[in-house]
Amino acid sequence: MEKRLTMLLVGLFLLVGGAFSQTKVSGTVVSQDDMQPVIGASVLVVGTTTGTVTNAQGKFTLTVPEGKKTLRISYVGMETLEVSARPNMKIVLTSDQAALDEVIVVAYGTAKKSAFTGAATQLDESVIGRRQVSSALDALSGAASGVQVTQYTGQPGSDPTIRVRGIGSLSASSNPLYVVDGVPYDGKITSINPADIESMSVLKDASASAIYGARGANGVVIITTKTAKRGQEAKVTFDARWGSNSRGVPNYDVLSNAGDYYEKYYRALYNERFYSAAGGDVAAAHAYANSNLYSNLGAKVYTVPAGETLIGTNFKLNPNATLGYKEGNYYYTPDDWYDEMYNTGNLRQEYNATVSGSNERMTYYMSLGMLDEKGIINSSNYRRYTGRLSADYQAKEWLKVGANMGYAFEKQGSPTSQNAWGSSGNSFYVADNIAPIYPLYVRNADGSNKIDDMGLTVMDTGTNTPWKRKFSAGNPLIDLSLNSYNLERSSINSKAYALIDLPLEGLRFNTNVNANVYDIRENNLYNPYYGASSSSGGSVNVNHYRRIGINSQFLLTYQHSFGDHNVDVLAGHENYHMKYQQLETAKQKLYLGDAAELDNAISYPSAPTSNTVDYATLGWLFRAQYNYQEKYFASVSYRRDASSRFADGHKWGNFGSFGAAWLISKEAFMESTQSWLNELKLKASIGSQGNDALMYDGELNYYPAEDRYKVSDVNGTPVPVFDSYKGNRDITWETSISTNLGIEFSLFKNRLSGSIEYYNRTTKDMLYYRPVAVSMGYDSYPVNEGSMYNRGVEIQLNGVVYKDQNISVELNANLTTLKNKITSYPTVMKGSMLIREEGGSIYESYLRSYAGVWHGDASEYSFNDKFDKSTLTLGDALYYCDPDEGDYNVTNVYTDAKQAHQGSTAPKAYGGFGLNATAYGFDLSMQFAYQLGGKLYDHKYQGLMSSNGGTGHNWSTDIADAWSPENPYSNVPRIDTGVNDSQDDSDRFLISSNYLSLNNVTLGYTLPKNLVQKMGIASLRVYVAGDNLALWSKRKGLDPRRSLTMGVTTLGGGYSDTYAALKTISGGISVTF
């Protein structure tokens, strides 16, 4: 009830009644809890529209029309009371703070949690506002059961990926539907200032979301922005925070000393020669290693006395070697690339101001926000300005109109290639993987950094000194320093609505028209001085993207109580049209080295491109909700939807749901348990939802039914060339059938509350690209085939551990289990890392089984009769031949071993837990997330453990354990530059994906009221907050939060070199006037 006490405002009239003034009544409303006045409680004369709200002292006066005498007093969080009107009343409201009676935002409206038959989790502003994240979706991590949040890139201004109750589709998008203020939203979530968000609801089952039919199959995330409360006087808030971003997940443990690396590489060269078919000759092997050491690596950074070698025949660094080497006009010494890239300051600042209030006919909420943050690498940044105005106006007694407009201007510097596998422009790839022998800077013979004519510090591109680096051409630090990446997105999310009370009481017509528009201008400049574009004189890309989505809803609602029977019916129509356009251009040869415009360049390397896609859906919807005595609840919904994605005759789909709930604790027979059992509800639901969001090449496919051709320039003639996409005119909706069974409870005077739910989501007629023989001339075409389920249990618990006048400690925890199984699949699809087949799961890993290392002892392993053991070399990696067929003979020939089932990589359970505590004005909150029982493929570690070191690619410190005559029983294969195993994928690199992360810690102090009120301030809070503070995973550097899937080595998957997650620490101040 703290919130109620902070409202010092005089209430305002809800509605102005007719002119028949008769009896004047007055009274005071207090709370039973503490006998304090309840401010802003609404007092209504039953059967009329006459009413008022209580003032700062909890008092009200009201004139009751003739013939009426019952007053209804209500307040959020209190039980509604009906009393007879009389003068000087004292009305005591009892608290109704059971969790079950929270009001939550659901499809097309709100519902009391106790009356809700579906499954939903809601996060409120207090949770969202705490997080220092550019996308509000990040706040869901660990905080909502059934929701998995993965963040592929740490680039500021990026939205994470959300999966609700598992991955539900194969080739169609598994993204949930986002609904902002009641309307489907296709923009970026970062375009909505998290500070403007009142709540975020995740609807997880069919009963909750089937009404969204078409696009709700993968769950629905409803974002509701803030509005003013009716009866609220003007309130002004200001919040500011300043802090910094840093790299949240460190690199793997890698060799950091140049000498160590040379020793290892030398050993690998020696081994290549010594263990080759031409081998066995120690002297020749040393000679080979010596003659190739520098030329292979392209770096010489040690000075060795004349006639001596850098590495001795004992494989140790020559003690006479000194770091630093001078040759000609240059001096070479290694740099710490990691430190050079990531140790710069990274300011983050955020300001938010709001004004909200109301008068008798109107409420308004206005906000301005500014976020400015720097990424952890140069040129990576994000700045967002947001403005929002939301207002409603009671134009007539029967007509309420309103609008909600949000504008965001986002400016993002997002350097290209930072997530690209093996790209020389990817600073994370380079800094994390480069051997510790390479200089970052070009140095003059005297050791000073070389400065060019323009005053720029010259960096080593790998080719601009006589020593040509063999790892990664170019230099990402040059790119990040001299290139510019500037994406500017303007987005408008506007909604206008009208609510009309129709003549029949309880019947309302509601129309919402919404426009989501965004407009992106992207100017990228690649500098003409150094790096990749220098040979073309620099280049510039100017791209433009525009998306316009118009959504219209026409809804009729009817709410009425017939005695104990309460009915709530919704019927309506909704349609949506989206147009997306893109224009991309590029030019080369710049005049100015820093002007990212086409007019600054003269040559056209490639022709500009543009295209437009259109997408439309329309649907009819119906929902009826019924309850008897607020004890038995039932809900039924139906939706018929059409999508432009499908061909005629396949456009329409029918979806619907049924749900029921039983509030057992309200039954008479439960009276005896009331002392400890405050609420107990059983619920069940079943329903179907659709998905039309077929993807292609990582993007949404809006025309999946049709073959695709591309107009190409063939020797000067425009020619349609088949673009390898085969359509299928028969495809239609993918359907997901969800069942949900749940118990919700509240115990011990609401000290412990929670829910347990079982879910089973079956997807059938799956939209997926059926692979065909590649020799058909294309590789797949879309079909509706196959089915799978995702099922599990979700548990959510909230406990008040301690509570008194001054101190409260609350804990919350949630856990979700997940099991995925493909129940029907027309073929067996074997990939390089996974297998899809009936009876398996979509997370089924399929890799060769690593057996260990050949130690020279034939009794250690079993071999095929045919296997020629003379081909074995000590320290060879061995693989089992065909474990799926029970063949556990081993071979040292990687391609002779067959891939084998290695089990599902999906985590068996995931969730989070947190703490909220207050004491004497201090508040502390912590939020953790975890994942258990899954596996992932550690692509990056594989690269760092490659036998040949990939010429200049660093090694993990674990390589110290590689097989050698001195370490003859190792299970890490021999390092050997002749063994190219960097892409020899095997279960050796499958690792547990368990993690625990500390997502947020916030510590605040609210100054005593009597102190701040003297300054004219209603409240003042100072705080420090840290986001993404710690991650505990199986291996240092490994971040299992990047992806849910395996990936492939050559594309890096989620566990390779992508922009590292950010850690943010800030201090801030919040003021309310």
In this chain, which stretch among 33-41, 269-277, 442-450, 1025-1033 interacts with another protein, using CB under 8 A?
A: 269-277
Among 224, 245, 461, 796, binds another protein (CB under 8 A): 461
In terms of CB distance, is 175 or 728 closer to another protein? 728
Rounded Cα gap, residues 365 and 170, in angstroms: 42
**Whose Cβ is closer to another protein: residue 301's or residue 555's?**
555
Sequence-distant (≥ 6) Cβ neighbours of residue 740 within 8 angstroms? 118, 119, 204, 205, 206, 207, 659, 683, 684, 685, 686, 757, 758, 759, 760
In sequence order, the β-bridge partners of residue 65 are none
Among residues 233, 584, 860, 958, the one that binds another protein under rule CB under 8 A: 584
The total of other beta-carbon atoms located within 10 Å of residue 611's CB is 9
# of chain residues touching another protein (CB under 8 A): 123
Three-class SS of residue 295?
helix
- On whether the CB atoms of residues 709 and 774 are closer than 8 A, the answer is no
Q: By C-beta, is 314 or 775 nearer to another protein?
A: 775
- State yes or no: residue 714 binds another protein (CB under 8 A): yes
Q: Which is nearer to another protein, 400 or 681 (CB)?
A: 400
- For another protein, which is the closer residue by CB, 116 or 854? 854
Cα–Cα distances (Å) from 56 to 5, 29, 236, 698, 706, in that order, read 9, 10, 18, 57, 66
- Residue with Cβ nearer another protein (225 or 942): 942
Residues 562-581 that bind another protein (CB under 8 A): 573, 575, 577
Nearer to another protein, 136 or 642 (CB): 642
Residue 579 to residues 53, 323, 566, 613: CA-CA distances in angstroms? 46, 61, 42, 6
- Looking from the CA of 1050 toward its CB, the CA atoms found within 13 Å total 4
Beta carbon of residue 896, minimum distance to another protein (angstroms, whole number)? 7
Residue 284 corresponds to which tokens in the numbers above?
């020749």
Least Cα distance to 522 among 581, 597, 589 occurs for: 597
Q: Which of residues 524-563 bind another protein (CB under 8 A)?
A: 529-532, 534-537, 541, 552, 554
Tell me whether residue 288 or residue 910 sits nearer to another protein (CB atom): 288
Binding mask 60-99 for another protein (x = CB under 8 A): ----------------------------------------
Tokens 């350097």 locate to 415
What gap in Å lies between CA 205 and CA 839, rounded to an integer? 24
Which residues within the stretch 886-945 sit at the binding site for another protein (CB under 8 A)?
892-896
For residues 607-626, which are near another protein according to CB under 8 A?
A: 607, 609-618
Shortest Cβ 1060–another protein spacing (Å): 22
Minimum distance from CB of 589 to another protein (Å)? Answer: 8
DSSP state of 529: S
Closest CA to 352 of 377, 305, 386, 307: 386
Tokens of 971: 């299970």
Q: To the nearest whole angstrom, how small is the minimum distance from the Cβ of residue 319 to another protein?
A: 30
In the complex, minimum distance from the CB of residue 682 to another protein, in angstroms, rounded to a whole number: 39
Are 963 and 947 a contacting pair, CB within 8 Å?
A: no
Q: Mind giving me the DSSP string for 621-688?
A: EEEEEEEETTTEEEEEEEEEEEETTSPTTS-EEEEEEEEEEEEGGGSGGGGGGTTTEEEEEEEEEEEE
Q: Which one, 206 or 872, has the nearer CB to another protein? A: 872
Contact in structure between 85 and 45 (CB atoms under 8 Å) = yes
Q: Which of residues 480-519 bind another protein (CB under 8 A)?
A: 498, 500-503, 509, 511
Which residue stretch of 103-111, 143-151, 467-475, 1026-1034 sits at the interface with another protein (rule: CB under 8 A)? 467-475
**Residues between 365 and 404 that touch another protein (CB under 8 A):** 396-399
Nearest approach, Cβ of residue 242 and another protein (Å):
38
Structure tokens, 812 = 């919350």
535: how many CB neighbours lie within 10 A of its CB? 9
**Interface characters, 664-703, with another protein (x: CB under 8 A):** ---------------------------------xxx--xx
| Contacting range for another protein; rule: CB under 8 A; set: 277-285, 592-600, 996-1004, 1054-1062 | 277-285
Q: Cβ neighbours of residue 808 under 8 Å, at least 6 residues apart?
A: 800, 802, 916, 917, 918, 919
Q: In the bound complex, what is the minimum distance in angstroms from residue 231's beta carbon to another protein? A: 25
Given the complex with another protein, which of 70 and 541 has the nearer CB atom? 541
Rounded Cα distance, 856 and 805, in Å = 74
Interaction between residue 34 and another protein (CB under 8 A): no
Task: Give min distance, CB of 468 to another protein, in A.
Answer: 6
Q: Which of 306, 297, 311, 314 is nearest to 260 (CA)?
A: 311
- Shortest distance in whole angstroms from residue 814 CB to another protein: 37
Candidates 735, 977, 1028, 1033; binder of another protein (CB under 8 A) is 977
Nearest distance from C-beta of residue 441 to another protein, angstroms = 16
Selected from 347, 602, 719, 858, the binder of another protein by CB under 8 A is: 719
Query: Exactly one of 79, 713, 884, 961 binds another protein (CB under 8 A); which one?
Result: 713
Q: Which range in 590-598, 710-718, 814-822, 917-925 contacts another protein by CB under 8 A?
A: 710-718
d(CA 38, CA 91): 10
Name which of residues 808 to 867 contact another protein (CB under 8 A): 827-832
The residue within the footprint of another protein, chosen from 773, 805, 865, 870 (CB under 8 A), is 773
* Rounded Cα gap, residues 779 and 581, in angstroms: 28
Residues 1035-1054 vs another protein: string with x where CB under 8 A? ---------------xx---
Strand partners, 331: 326, 443
CB 547 to another protein: min, Å? 15
Q: Is 783 in the site for another protein (CB under 8 A)?
A: no
Among 246, 464, 808, 862, binds another protein (CB under 8 A): 464
Q: Where are the beta strands (DSSP E) in 807-886?
A: 807-817, 819-824, 829-830, 835-836, 844-847, 850-853, 877-882
Binding map of another protein across residues 143-172, x = CB under 8 A, - = no contact: ------------------------------
Based on the shown chain and the rule CB under 8 A, indicate whether residue 953 belongs to the binding site for another protein: yes
Return d(Cα 727, Cα 707) in angstroms, integer. Answer: 4
Q: Which of 911, 850, 847, 837 is nearest to 878 (CA)?
A: 850
C-alpha separations of 338 from 252, 378, 435, 918 in Å: 11, 13, 11, 41
* Least distance between another protein and beta carbon 776 (Å): 7
Q: Report the residue from 112, 468, 631, 1021 that binds another protein according to the rule CB under 8 A.
A: 468
- Contact window for another protein (CB under 8 A) among 487-495, 638-646, 807-815, 1008-1016: 638-646
Q: Is 1009 helix (H, G, I), strand (E, B) or coil?
A: helix
Say which residue the tokens 């008798």 belong to: 360
Distances (CA, A) of 929 to 77, 302, 814, 989: 30, 47, 9, 24
- Give yes or no for residue 980 binding another protein (CB under 8 A): yes
Between 208 and 247, how does the x/- string for binding to another protein read (CB under 8 A)?
----------------------------------------
Q: Beta-carbon neighbour count of residue 1064 at 10 Å?
A: 24
Nearest distance in Å: CB 902, another protein: 15
Instruction: Give min distance, CB of 515 to another protein, in A.
Output: 14
With binding defined as CB under 8 A, does residue 283 bind another protein? no
Min separation Cβ 585 and another protein, Å: 8
